[in-house]
Amino acid sequence: MGIVKITEQMHTNLRLTSGAMSRSINSQAEHWLRVGMMAELNPGLCYNDICQKLREAEQQAADSPQEITLSLEKA
């Protein structure tokens, strides 16, 4: 785990959104990072498609204890 420096405004946004979404600030930041990474790697995917891919990856991880890789291509 490392430290990432962010602006006060971003921290405020994280704090407010994490409360609204019932997540910790770190969990909210990680969610936004995962969504942003998927969006950059897959510019054709919309937010709902990205969230579906993330849910599928979580389900796959729950079903299989082996290492899981997140597919970055739209099916």
Rounded to whole angstroms, the Cα distance separating 50 from 40 reads 11
Degrees to nearest 5, angle at CA 56 with 74 and 21: 110
- Cut 0.75: pTM above it: no
pLDDT at 57: 87
23-73 pLDDT per residue, tens: 999 999 999 999 999 999 999 999 999 999 999 988 888 887 665 566 655
Write the CB contacts of 53 (distance below 8 Å, at least 6 apart in sequence). 38, 45, 70, 71, 72
Degrees to nearest 5, angle at CA 58 with 27 and 54: 70
Number of H helices, E strands in the chain: 3, 0
